[in-house]
Amino acid sequence: MSNHILVLYGSYRSDRMGIRLANFVINRLRERGDEVTFIDAKAIGLPMLDRMYKEYPKGSAPEALENLAGQIRSADGFVFVTGEYNWGIQPGLKNLTDHFLEEWFWRPAAIVSYSAGRLSGARAATAWHGTLSEMGMVVVSSTIGVGPIAQTLSAEGEPTGDGGKALERAFPRFADDLAWWIEAAKAQRARKAPPY
């Protein structure tokens, strides 16, 4: 049985380079037989956080929030594709994520980071680890960092050069780690209801 994975991406830039990495992840997960839904923060266009989804009276949340809440609740796991802005987290992806809380609980998340430079967004990935854990997700230990992204992936998201070869070698372990935690979480939820 395939896993349903949301791939979340948050750049709002007009010349988005990270979309290459999002496409790579989506394509490789689908090749493994997973059902993948792409969540693009820019396309959804949520306003800056004023009121979380759970703070709306039942049935009165904006349609975009209601739809996204359902997608998050129905997912088995998540992949966060994040760039690094000034040593930190992308604001678009963080804003989208912060609109929800309980919807994320009891499922695993994996982090894929990128940057234009050689550090591959590692500082953003480190910051995301604590954030996602605080939001009730189990963050898998395998991560992927890509940089410089323009030399690692083509515009279509296909690996190029030595960086692309390294990415291809790293992906199976990353995906296996996420799949193991997804299966473990599914089994535990079936065996015993979450404590809250």
Beta strand 138-146 pairing with 108-114: parallel
DSSP of the chain, one letter per residue? ---EEEEEE----TT-SHHHHHHHHHHHHHHTT-EEEEEEHHHH-PPSSSS-GGGSPTT-S-HHHHHHHHHHHH-SEEEEEEEEETTEE-HHHHHHHHT-SGGGTTSEEEEEEE-SSTTTTHHHHHHHHHHHHHTTPEEEEEEEEE-SHHHHB-TTS-B-HHHHHHHHHHHHHHHHHHHHHHHHHHHHHHHS----
Ordered per-residue pLDDT tens for the chain, 196 residues: 799 999 999 999 999 999 999 999 999 999 999 999 999 999 999 999 999 999 999 999 999 999 999 999 999 999 999 999 999 999 999 999 999 999 999 999 999 999 999 899 999 999 999 999 999 999 999 999 999 999 999 999 999 999 999 999 999 999 999 999 999 999 999 999 998 8
pLDDT of residue 149: 96
Q: Which fold has domain 4-191?
A: Rossmann fold (3.40.50)
pLDDT of residue 196: 86
Domain layout of the chain by residue ranges: 4-191
pLDDT of residue 81: 98
